[in-house]
């Protein structure tokens, strides 16, 4: 596999995919939550058909499922390996009218972006290391969409490469593209009964070499505040201001356990949205912890904060409603050590140093693992996800594509 050949399969695809506006919307209950995801799903279906993959379908809820048939020697093999990436981009920053900037020979200098932003190699060692290599970044007005269109491009490039090189023998390969991963819905309509893979790999990670077999336990809290309203001119001793109750609750969330104050295996509370008036208000909080007991502590803390706010606002009422979003996939993957073993072997075969890291977030792999299909995560080469400073290394994208091909080759 020559880098230039892989790059030619990868880059045009990625530049095309990021121009699809697939930003998901966590406020919409339907799956998919936005129409742009349908557009990309249909384009991927047509592309798979054009490279000779006949077994392709899109479900009623926008899950794309395709299969690359096994080589003749492995036609009777019962095993099937899957690769998965998600169609949507995050709603944290706009994903509309993305203008990718393809820099084929990065100078190593600062890159000025719109709005006074810049990519500064002095602050990003990984960016400095790309000097003389190709990178793709956004222009500063939107995110880039490497999360997860880099993963889609890497899977699609690997599939086309294998279809064009039948001398590389392999077993059956399943390709899965999913909607609304960024909303944390946990694959509510995932067509498990149609999936043949005994194991799967999400291609949804960061820097080259990073592989992941564990993630956060994730819960969401919707907190309602009911105030006691009277004319503000006669409010003394009577008014319970719901908007102020919500603000007070948010301030009680410990700053030392926020996303911006934690890393590694430390969990957090993150207020996502606050709204309201004198009479009613609402606060949405994300809870993240690698440990299930730690999550119980966080949920209990929210109940304690609710009581503290009610005590400060006589007549006011706070209602805390919590629900799980996804669970740590570590225990499920640990039960099938050969799944990680194959991934490490594929990277060793390619001379790529691997490092195990926890996912400070979630992937569709967490839900798939819960459903009985162990699904660790592979790097994509992207950095600064969900931001206007997002960029991706082309050489690392090529490396991820090679890992996919090698995994397929060693897993009949």
Please list the pLDDT of the chain residue by residue as tens digits (412 residues): 677 899 999 999 999 999 999 999 988 989 999 999 999 999 999 999 999 999 999 999 999 999 999 987 776 666 799 999 999 999 989 999 999 999 999 999 999 999 999 999 999 999 999 999 999 999 999 999 999 999 999 999 999 999 999 999 999 999 999 999 998 776 789 999 999 999 999 999 999 999 999 999 999 999 999 999 999 999 999 999 999 999 999 999 999 999 999 999 999 999 999 999 999 999 999 999 999 999 999 999 999 999 999 999 999 999 999 999 999 999 999 999 999 999 999 999 999 999 999 999 888 999 899 999 999 999 999 999 999 999 999 999 999 999 999 999 998 6
The pLDDT of residue 51 is 95
Predicted TM-score of the model (pTM): 0.91
Q: Which helix (H) or strand (E) holds 407?
A: helix 394-410
Catalytic residues: 88, 181
Both structure tokens of 25: 């919307």
Both structure tokens of 230: 């009277």
Strands 317-326 and 217-226: antiparallel
CB neighbour burial string for 173-202, b if at least 16 within 10 angstroms, e if fewer:
bbbbbbbbbbbbbbbebbeeeebebbbbbb
Q: By C-alpha distance, which of 20, 250, 31, 352 is closest to 153?
A: 20
Q: By C-alpha distance, which of 395, 370, 6 is closest to 200?
A: 370
Strands 377-378 and 199-203: parallel
The pLDDT of residue 1 is 65
Q: How far apart are CA 146 and CA 407, in angstroms?
A: 22
What is the distance, to the nearest Å, from the Cα of residue 327 to the centroid of all Cα atoms in its chain? 14
The pLDDT of residue 71 is 86
């Amino acid at each position: 596999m020559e880098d230039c050949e892989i790059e030619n399969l990868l880059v045009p695809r990625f530049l095309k995919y990021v121009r699809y506006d697939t930003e998901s919307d966590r406020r919409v209950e339907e799956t998919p939550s936005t129409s742009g995801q349908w557009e990309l799903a249909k384009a991927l279906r047509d592309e798979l058909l054009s490279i000779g993959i006949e077994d392709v379908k899109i479900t009623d809820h926008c899950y794309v499922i395709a299969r690359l048939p096994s080589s003749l020697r492995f036609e009777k093999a019962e095993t099937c390996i899957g690769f998965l990436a998600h169609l949507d981009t995050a709603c944290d920053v706009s994903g509309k009218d993305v203008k990718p900037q393809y820099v084929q020979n990065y100078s190593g200098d600062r890159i000025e972006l719109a709005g006074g932003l810049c990519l500064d190699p002095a602050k990003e060692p990984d960016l400095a290391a790309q000097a003389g290599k190709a990178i793709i970044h956004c222009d500063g007005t939107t995110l880039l969409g490497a999360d997860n269109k880099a993963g889609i491009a890497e899977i699609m490039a690997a599939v086309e490469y294998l279809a064009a090189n039948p001398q590389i023998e392999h077993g059956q390969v399943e390709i899965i593209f999913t909607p609304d991963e960024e909303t944390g819905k946990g694959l509510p309509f995932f067509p498990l009964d149609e999936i043949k893979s005994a194991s799967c790999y999400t291609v949804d990670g960061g820097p080259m070499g990073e592989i992941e077999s564990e993630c956060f336990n994730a819960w969401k809290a919707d907190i309602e505040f009911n105030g006691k309203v009277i004319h503000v001119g006669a409010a003394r001793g009577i008014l319970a201001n719901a908007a102020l109750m919500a603000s007070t609750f948010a301030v009680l969330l410990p700053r030392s356990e926020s996303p911006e104050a934690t890393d590694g295996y430390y969990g957090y509370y993150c207020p996502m949205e606050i709204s309201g008036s004198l009479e009613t208000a609402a606060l949405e909080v994300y809870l993240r912890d690698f440990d299930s007991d730690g999550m119980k502590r966080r949920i209990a803390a929210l109940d304690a904060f609710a009581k503290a706010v009610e005590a400060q606002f006589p007549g006011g009422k706070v209602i805390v409603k919590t629900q799980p979003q996804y669970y740590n996939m570590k225990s499920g993957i640990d039960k099938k050590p050969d799944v990680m073993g194959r991934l490490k072997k594929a990277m060793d075969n390619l001379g790529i140093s691997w490092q195990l890291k926890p996912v400070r977030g979630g992937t569709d792999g967490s839900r798939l693992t819960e459903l009985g299909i162990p699904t660790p995560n592979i790097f994509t080469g992207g950095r600064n996800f969900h931001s206007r400073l997002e960029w991706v290394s082309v050489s690392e994208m090529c490396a991820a594509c090679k890992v996919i091909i090698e995994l397929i080759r060693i897993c009949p």
